[in-house]
Amino acid sequence: MTKSRSSVMIMAISVFFTISIAYFVFTDEISAQSEEKSFLTHSGSVIRTSGEILDPLYTSATMEFDPMDYLRNFDYGKISTLPDGTTLREYTIVAEDDKVMEISPGIFYNVWTYNGSVPGPTIRATEGDTVRINFTNNGSKEHTIHFHGIHPSEMDGVFEPVGGNGGKFTYEFEAGPVGVHPYHCHIMPLEEHIVHGLYGVFIVDPKEGRASADEMVMVLNGFDTDFDTENNFYAANTIPFYYQHHPIQINTDELIRIYVVNMVEFDPINNFHLHANLYEYYPTGTDTIPSFYTDMITLSQTERGIMEFSYQYPGNYLFHAHKVEFSEKGWVGIFQAHENKEQKIEEVEYGR
Ligand SMILES: [Cu+2]
């Protein structure tokens, strides 16, 4: 009787201690997980986090980006014909500066976006078309869109800051010259507005078109996630290593055309090396005759051009920055070439 009573007592005490320990352990863990902290970014925005600076809580402002979707996505605008018979292309671009994107697993960064994306949409028009951009700034700061190309001063997106919280401006100009051009915000401090993601690509096609090809856009970009004016990550199209883990599918004997734009800040140069092949290179895409036949180009800030090539043999082919630091921090990808017996490559020429 005494023995069983003491057993019950021991059991009761054990249960009490187990519950107490569990209470302290779990409540501690629960409070650690649910504890939210505010983090002030150098851009002045406040991000709520679960305690780790690089681990903000997902919110409605968390943005998703699909580099495979971006790669071959061109925005030709809403097309209509003007009274003089020329083509009008209208685009809507909305700027925001409160989005958070997981640019690498566990690395969250406050991105500033055109149409909710970094880079913004690839605007595409034909030489001589009227381009009309209906711009709304839904950010908290002033922003603009500065297009590279030829246009009147007041359409340059420099001296007409567009106020936040719904400010509007209509950019209108004739598309030209033929080529591939960047567009980006031009509010000071410029570096801050660009590196957060306010940039995109503007393609002007020649009236006679180009030879049919599998066309892609690659924006070479980087992210300074610890705000020390040095990039921590590099990429072709925003997400480090994306095209290495998700190779770009292409066909052999098919012309590949890449519109490449270097938007990396802080580092004076970037470059593009293609494996087991060479490409025709048209700097800025303005000429109809390629300037180089090479496997390596070097690009400074906003330098860009058009690359054309095809693969003869099926297989996996790397492309990457030959500045090894950049490729080791994400600027690397793979083309996976598949046998293509039906479609033979066509000569690249204009006027067809
Ligand atoms: Cu801006």
Give the tokens for residue 306.
Answer: 């058009």
What percentage of the chain carries pLDDT values higher than 90? 72
| Alpha carbon of 228 to ligand 1 centroid (Å) | 20
| Alpha carbon of 281 to ligand 1 centroid (Å) | 31
Could you tell me which residues come within 8 angstroms of residue 350 by beta carbon, excluding any fewer than 6 positions away?
206, 208, 209, 210, 288
- Given a cut of 80, whether residue 40 has pLDDT beyond it is no
Q: Taking residues 71-93, report their average pLDDT.
A: 97
Q: Taking residues 288-295, report their average pLDDT.
A: 95
Contact assessment for residue 26 and residue 33, using Cβ atoms and an 8 Å cutoff = no
DSSP 73: -
Which of helix, strand or coil describes residue 79? Answer: strand
The pLDDT value given to residue 350:
52
| Alpha carbon of 214 to ligand 1 centroid (Å) | 33
| Whole-angstrom distance, CA of residue 73 vs CA of residue 66 | 11
| Alpha carbon of 117 to ligand 1 centroid (Å) | 14
Give the tokens for residue 109.
Answer: 């960064």
| Alpha carbon of 298 to ligand 1 centroid (Å) | 27
| Alpha carbon of 164 to ligand 1 centroid (Å) | 10
The pLDDT value given to residue 317:
98
Put residue 225 in one of left, alpha, beta given phi > 0 → left and psi -120 to 50 → alpha: alpha
Q: What is the β-pairing status of strands 107-114 and 87-104?
A: antiparallel
- Given a cut of 80, whether residue 182 has pLDDT beyond it is yes
CB atoms within 10 A of CB 271: 17
Put residue 257 in one of left, alpha, beta given phi > 0 → left and psi -120 to 50 → alpha: beta
| Alpha carbon of 148 to ligand 1 centroid (Å) | 16
| Alpha carbon of 154 to ligand 1 centroid (Å) | 17
The pLDDT value given to residue 15:
53
| Alpha carbon of 77 to ligand 1 centroid (Å) | 23
What percentage of the chain carries pLDDT values higher than 70? 80
Edge-to-edge strands, sheet with 123-126:
123-126, 199-205, 179-184, 146-147
Angle ∠(90,91,93) on CA atoms, nearest 5: 150
Q: What is the separation of C-alpha 281 from the centre of its chain, rounded to a whole number of angstroms?
A: 22
| Alpha carbon of 198 to ligand 1 centroid (Å) | 7
| Whole-angstrom distance, CA of residue 241 vs CA of residue 259 | 19
| Alpha carbon of 85 to ligand 1 centroid (Å) | 35
Contact assessment for residue 171 and residue 132, using Cβ atoms and an 8 Å cutoff = yes
pLDDT digits (tens, 9 = 90+) for 203-236: 999 999 999 999 999 999 999 988 888 999 999 9
| Alpha carbon of 143 to ligand 1 centroid (Å) | 4
| Whole-angstrom distance, CA of residue 351 vs CA of residue 16 | 87
Half-sphere exposure of residue 244: CA atoms within 13 angstroms, side-chain side? 17
The pLDDT value given to residue 188:
93
Higher per-residue confidence, 177 vs 192: 177
Confidence class for position 69, pLDDT limits 50, 70, 90: very high
9 membership: H or E segment, kind and range: helix 2-34
